[in-house]
Amino acid sequence: MRLKLTIEYAGTRYSGWQIQNNARTVQGEIDRAIREVTRASTFELYGSGRTDAGVHALAQIAHLELPGSAGQRWPTETLRRRINDALPFDINLLRIERARPKFHARHDAVARSYLYQIARRRTAFAKPFVWWVKEPLDDGAMRRAAARFVGTHDFRFFSDDDPAAKSTRVHLEVFGVHDHGDVLLVHIEGSHFLWKMVRRLVGVLVEVGRGGLTADHAAALLLEPSPVPARLTAPAAGLFLDRVYYPGEARDTPAEPPVFLRPVR
């Protein structure tokens, strides 16, 4: 039986999504909980994509293929609750749904949406979920720079992926900067993303906001090798996997940051 899992997690305590030897990961914790609850020794758990160490997810998607006996034992809602009881506090299954037999969380996805939170003030509560930038930021300049990256481009210089091993061309549909007072929310949506690509794009935008780069200089980083994107990589703490889209699903625009900082009065 194949199931579709929708998962939220705070990535602060984990070495990313994917199971690794000698490291605590989100997938590893879910794998352990499923084994504990279902008593299944073999099953397939596959996520829509990796998130790096410290990165969060509002709605990561995974598919779970359980053997017939384990899959038929409980209704999906009962299974969800029991797995959640076996998970640590910072990982939560939002939904478990029956999926078609060949549904694949990664291969069937048509787009992914990320959010990045930039704090404009020091915060006592939200530090694991924001990047506090102390300097004033020109969000208008950041928007103008972001617009230069929309469309299909080769992002090889914004990633540590090997262009000889995989295509580094990505179609960005949305790259916006939204002012929420003490929070700037960066929304980026595209067909797929390369390793560290989102964090490097955000880092370059912040450098534009600080006045260290112009929009022209930022766009030129697509064209030739430069150490600048890697040097400006934004911290993992502010990054959230927002949505994974599948054929026929409506797109939506985030109305507010996932962790909101109230204005100082």
Active site residue 52: yes
The pLDDT-based confidence of 253 (bands split at 50, 70, 90) is: confident
pLDDT at 163: 75
Query: In DSSP terms, which residues pair with 96 in a beta bridge?
Result: 5
87 phi, psi to nearest 5 deg: -95, 155
pLDDT score, position 72: 65
What pLDDT is attached to residue 264?
77
- Whether the per-residue pLDDT at 162 is higher than 80: the answer is no
Give the distance between the most distant pair of CA atoms in the chain: 61
As a whole number of angstroms, the distance between CA 258 and CA 8 comes to 12
Which one has a higher pLDDT value, 262 or 132? 132
Q: Which of 52, 90, 161, 179 is catalytic?
A: 52
CATH architecture assignment, domain 111-245: 2-Layer Sandwich (3.30)
pLDDT in tens, 92-138: 999 999 999 999 999 999 999 999 999 999 999 999 999 999 999 99
2-98 folds as Alpha-Beta Plaits (3.30.70)
pLDDT in the model for residue 70:
60
How does the average pLDDT of the chain come out, rounded?
94
Q: Is the pLDDT score of 219 beyond 60? A: yes
> pLDDT value at position 19?
93
Interval 3-13 mean pLDDT: 98
Q: What confidence category does residue 195 fall into, taking pLDDT thresholds of 50, 70 and 90? A: very high
Q: Are the C-beta atoms of 241 and 114 separated by less than 8 Å?
A: yes
pLDDT for 71 beyond 60: no
Amino acid sitting at position 19: I
Whether the CB-CB separation of 24 and 14 falls below 8 Å is answered with yes
- For 131-137, which contacts have Cβ atoms below 8 Å and span 24 or more sequence positions? 131/202, 131/206, 131/234, 131/235, 131/237, 131/238, 133/206, 133/209, 133/210, 135/210, 136/210, 137/184, 137/206, 137/209, 137/210
Domain boundaries, the chain: 2-98, 111-245
Cβ-based neighbour number of residue 260 at 10 Å: 14
Instruction: Name the strand (E) or helix (H) holding 86.
Output: helix 76-86
Query: Using an 8 Å Cβ cutoff, are 243 and 113 in contact?
Result: yes
Global confidence as pTM: 0.94
| Alpha carbon separation from 236 to 14, 86, 166, 211, 222 (Å, rounded) | 11, 26, 24, 23, 22
For residue 261, the model assigns a pLDDT of: 86
Q: Output b/e per residue, 154-186; b: 16+ Cβ within 10 A.
A: ebbbbbebeeeeeebebebeebbbbebebbbbb
Give 230's strand partners.
none
Q: Do domains 2-98 and 111-245 have the same CATH topology?
A: yes
